[in-house]
Amino acid sequence: MGKNTDNPVDIIASMLATMTRRVIEAEHERDDAIRRADDWFKNWKLSSTRCTEVEHDLAEALDRMAAMEKMMDLERMADMEDNPARAAERGGADAQ
């Protein structure tokens, strides 16, 4: 018997098996895609959180540096008022 003379029940069963296999493959692909998307989002969220933490740490460090510079400027101004000759010497050394 050739393909054209197969029993209709066998043809339907074969088609049903092929369709079932394709549906199962599609479900596996969908599940993998969902898992990859979830993993990507979780990694993105962790990276975003870490970037926010680093940004916060950097802002704090910059604030500390600015406060230190302001304190040093105030000390220099006080030193200039207390000892103008030394301030002039230091100014000359700073200019070089």
Each residue's pLDDT tens digit, 14-66: 999 999 999 999 999 999 999 999 999 999 999 999 999 999 999 999 999 99
Burial of 87 (0-12, 13-18, 19+ CB in 10 A): middle
* Global pTM value: 0.51
For the chain, the straight-line distance linking the first and the last C-alpha, in angstroms and rounded, comes to 104
Rounded CA gap, 96 and 91, in Å? 9
64 touches 56 (CB < 8 A): no
* Domain interval for residue 79: 3-95
Neighbours of 90 (CB within 10 A): 14
Please tell me the total count of domains within the chain: 1
Q: In terms of pLDDT, which residue wins out, 96 or 6?
A: 6
